[in-house]
Chains A and B, each alone.
Chain A
């Protein structure tokens, strides 16, 4: 691994997308779990678990996409135009997730609330699934021409490998959200959510194992990378250990430590992914036209400017984000400001 601006930006884009999955991961995960709660009060509590923060959590995706555009415009262009329909569905999912949260409780009619509840949940499931399918295809490799334009079809993207990663992503967000919801709720809802944690973990670990086995079958180029980088095995083992730590912390009553474990697991997962593909951003199939952090990058000067922008901006973002989360710490209680 070289210490250059391109690598730095590979890491920064990775951090932004990791921040996104850690934060919006539990927002989307709450959406996935949402319809398992039945009473209006429980559903309102679930919405208000993420109520004040979901919007700024989603900004990590917007900024990650913007950073990708700025640092690696070639990859941004290839992926976004190639994955056209899938990204449109992602947008529809995110749109409905967003407006459903805002609109849902504004009227008291049952059909109104039920309708927006379904939109919220479907939007969240769809978005989570597509995020996984996208990562799967990027790792697997997609057909590109000499100008790095996608030459495949929409259905090519719905291959078994990517679908499994899509399912794993849904499982991961469910697990993550169940722990966050555990932290933020109390009473009967809290106890119900506690019962979901173990099934969620099992679901995640199972899909994780299946995905890794499929990587051996379908993604030879990744396997070769992993063989060259033995430290990746440690990441893999660490992920399993960290996830197993979650129920341990919950039994001890340390919900927050359990949540930190879940966050850490996601960071390790992103690290696993990044280590397996670096310095590639996008594999092509056949592997002639891979996009790397070098051939897809913007100019050196732009990377320098962007580094200054990020160095000034991101610490401030982290600081006030932490402050806002602190203001809303503790268990969710419904008041007249709530969703």
Chain B
């Protein structure tokens, strides 16, 4: 258990816990904007009650995101100080921009969103909701841009003690005491080869996360026969967002994977368990990787991998044999994690599409029908599916980048802080583990409590599905 291993483990623990919450905030943020705009447009009390209830859920996810988020900013410095010295120009700027443009915006207007219902008019409140949504999306932008730079560095040159190094200089471990990555062109750095693909993919995933939470809770209410009107409309909003996001995610997934094939071919080879460079490369659907024999045993579709990457089965896909073994990430784990993400993704798309079809066929809210109840029953645990997809996807991305912390420039082992030792990290890791277990238990408890309490009582009758048109006023609910 050396200091590098423990630091990596700690980062994994802290980021995994943290990442439960921002996608919920981003996804719910979008959904709150939709619900509140429907309220302003229709004047229906139902939409107002939806906005109020989902805001309460939002507030809970937001505070946990904030509490666990500040840990991440500190952790770059505490455990990865050598990395921080190397990339401060670039990674530091993105983080500072995230603070200035995103965190202030979302946290500032959060005050009005959560506490200001009766203090400002509906239009200003709606503006605040939009600003919180925008702020959370901005924070995704900056952090994904920063992380993408780690995957596909661009817009920089290397300097040793202030002197530029020649192009193609290969860094050695000793260099990191004096070498830095220095920004050349801000926009090339921001729009590095993988930023746009990864940002789109992450944001859509966040929309799915929010949508499925809404669908999950709404389905639960419907099955229990509680808050039927509220749950019906909420489910419709969740389903619409989930279905559109799911289909868009397919397009994004294709573009992102082709980006990985082009910019990080060894990562793609590992994800696909492709040991030999070949044309007509097969796509493994399900199976396992035998690292000893360097063979992947799987149910595979011949030629499909080449086709997906090049739109041509003759395309040559680089296998792991094209790269020195010291540069291979953990092939077996990546192979499985990636497929978990894909499986969750397919599951979500199927659920949303089936849901929309049932909705159009007026089958979705027929609460006495067995088919409807079965489908709703499937929706109840569905809040977990995007969470699993997010974790599996990010683990694929980050483990796939190994052994590099900055791809092809700095190895993870070279980025660890020199001033710390294993015992210190063991201490902090145990503390985070204990604290986060407590916080997660609190999160589940309070979320269940809010679900149990349900939306405000001042809504229309349980069995009415008609919209009520009520005059908008400041005193409304």
Given contacts A79-B77, A84-B428, contact A70 B88 (CB under 8 A): yes
Contact A59 B183 (CB under 8 A): no
Contact A99 B73 (CB under 8 A): no
Residues of chain A with a CB closer than 8 A to B177's CB: 147
Binds B, one of A61-69, A248-256, A266-274: A61-69
**A327–B112 touching, CB < 8 Å:** yes
A69 to B69, CA, bound (A): 16
Q: Which residues from A are CB-within-8-Å of B92?
A: 66, 69-71, 73, 76, 298, 302
B446 touches A82 (CB 8 A): no
Chain A 101-132 near chain B by CB (<8 Å), digits 1 or 0: 11100110000000000000000000000000
Binds A, one of B33-41, B350-358, B402-410, B415-423: B415-423
Q: Is A189 an interface residue (CB 8 A)?
A: no
Digitize B118-139: 1 where CB-to-A-CB distance is under 8 Å, 0 elsewhere.
1110000000000100000000
Give the docked Cα–Cα distance between A58 and B111 (Å). 13
Q: Is the interface of B mostly helix, strand, loop or mixed?
A: helix
Interface size, A (range)? 35 or more
Asked whether A82 and B419 contact (CB < 8 A) given A77-B82, A302-B183, A324-B108, the answer is yes
Return chain A residues, CB-CB under 8 Å to B439: 95, 99
**Complex interface: stretch among A38-46, A49-57, A215-223:** A49-57
Q: Which of B58-72 contact A (CB under 8 A)?
A: 59-60, 62-64, 66-71
Is residue A278 contacting chain B, with contact meaning CB distance below 8 A? Answer: no
Whether B67 pairs with A95 at a CB distance below 8 angstroms is yes
Q: Is the CB of B100 within 8 A of A310?
A: yes
Known: A76-B88, A301-B182, A327-B116. A314 touches B59 (CB 8 A): no
Give A229-255 as 1s and 0s: 1 = Cβ < 8 Å from B's Cβ atoms.
000000000000000000000000000
Chain B interface residue count, CB cutoff 8 Å, equals: 72
A:66-95 near B, CB below 8 Å: 66-67, 69-74, 76-82, 84-85, 87-88, 90-92, 94-95
Which residues of B sit under 8 angstroms from A302, Cβ to Cβ?
Answer: 88-90, 92-93, 182-183
A155 CB–B CB distance under 8 Å: no
Across the interface, A77 reaches (CB within 8 A) one of B73, B88, B449, namely B88
- The 19 sampled A-B contact pairs (Cβ below 8 Å) are A62-B70, A62-B73, A66-B97, A70-B89, A76-B88, A77-B88, A81-B419, A87-B78, A102-B59, A103-B446, A106-B449, A149-B418, A149-B419, A302-B183, A317-B105, A320-B108, A320-B131, A321-B108, A328-B116
- B residues with a Cβ closer than 8 A to A are 59-60, 62-64, 66-71, 73-74, 76-79, 81-82, 84-85, 87-93, 95-101, 103-105, 107-112, 114-120, 131, 159, 177, 180, 182-184, 186, 417-420, 424, 427-428, 431, 435, 439, 442, 446, 449
Knowing that A67-B96, A313-B100 are A-B contacts, what are 18 other residue pairs whose CB atoms are under 8 Å apart, sorted by A's residue number?
Answer: A56-B108, A63-B96, A65-B74, A67-B99, A71-B92, A72-B88, A74-B85, A76-B84, A84-B424, A85-B428, A95-B439, A99-B442, A150-B419, A302-B90, A305-B183, A317-B108, A321-B108, A337-B114
